[in-house]
């Protein structure tokens, strides 16, 4: 990233961290993915159970191996041998102490928007895990919900390729508004604010472009 894009990311992330505090979330500003990774480590006590949503952002942070440490109990969705096993991990994950993920978009009004194939990420963000940590690159900030949905449609082909789904968008490179089982756009959640369960949702705004 060149220095001018970095400056832009810094301004966006700092502004959003302030907005999120006003919206009832616990928020942090991180200069880069390494600082965000350390923040997560500091926030999760040893002995905690951890689950995650499928996330290119977490992959870029190289944090999954940390969660596999003996310090934690990790609901490891990546070591299952079938979708049935994966789905059972999704179910168990709803009882974890910490759920860590990213989201697809965040509006300048503090609305966090996510669209899932199976709905496990959307569900866990809303209820189940005691604490939720959401890591957001500055590239995911949009003006409003219309822009959030537009962004989700634009990245749908990338997400379908990531999870190996044979949705029509994989062939065309653009959202086809498909209605097939392999769709990655089956469940959408919008978190309006962090006030309902005070302190439950933490958002780390990173001054970098991270994830799709």
Total residue count of the chain as it appears in this document: 212
Residue 67 CA neighbour count, 13 Å, CB half: 25
Q: What is the pLDDT of residues 194-209, one digit of tens each?
A: 999 999 999 999 999 9
Q: Where are the alpha helices (DSSP H) in the chain?
A: 3-22, 33-43, 56-61, 64-67, 83-93, 120-126, 145-163, 168-172
Tell me which fold the domain 3-206 belongs to.
Rossmann fold (3.40.50)
Q: Along the 212 residues of the chain, how does pLDDT read in single tens digits? A: 789 999 999 999 999 999 999 999 999 999 999 999 999 999 999 999 999 999 999 999 999 999 999 999 999 999 999 999 999 999 999 999 999 999 999 999 999 999 999 999 999 999 999 999 999 999 999 999 999 999 999 999 998 998 889 999 999 999 999 999 999 999 999 999 999 999 999 999 999 999 98
**pTM recorded for the entire structure:** 0.95
Q: What is the pLDDT of residues 3-14, one digit of tens each?
A: 999 999 999 999
| Residue ranges of domains in the chain | 3-206
The pLDDT of residue 1? 78
């Amino acid at each position: 990233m060149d220095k001018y894009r970095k400056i832009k990311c810094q301004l966006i992330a700092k502004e959003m961290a302030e907005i999120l505090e006003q919206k009832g979330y616990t928020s942090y500003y991180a200069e880069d993915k390494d600082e965000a990774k350390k923040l997560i480590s500091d926030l999760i006590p040893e002995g905690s159970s951890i689950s995650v949503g499928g996330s290119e952002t977490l992959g870029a942070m190289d944090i999954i191996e940390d969660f596999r440490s003996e310090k934690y109990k990790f609901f490891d969705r990546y070591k299952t041998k079938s979708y049935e096993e994966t789905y059972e991990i999704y179910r168990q994950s709803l009882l974890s102490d910490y759920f860590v993920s990213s989201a697809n978009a965040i509006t300048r009004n503090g609305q966090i928007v996510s669209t899932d194939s199976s709905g496990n990420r959307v569900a866990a963000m809303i209820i189940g895990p005691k604490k939720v940590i959401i890591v957001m690159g500055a590239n995911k900030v949009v003006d409003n919900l219309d822009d959030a949905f537009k962004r989700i449609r634009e990245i749908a082909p990338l997400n379908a390729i990531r999870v190996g789904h044979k949705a029509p968008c994989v062939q065309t490179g653009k959202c086809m508004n498909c209605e097939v089982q392999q769709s990655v756009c089956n469940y959408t959640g919008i978190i309006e604010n962090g006030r309902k369960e005070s302190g439950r949702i933490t958002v780390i705004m990173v001054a970098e472009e991270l994830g799709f």
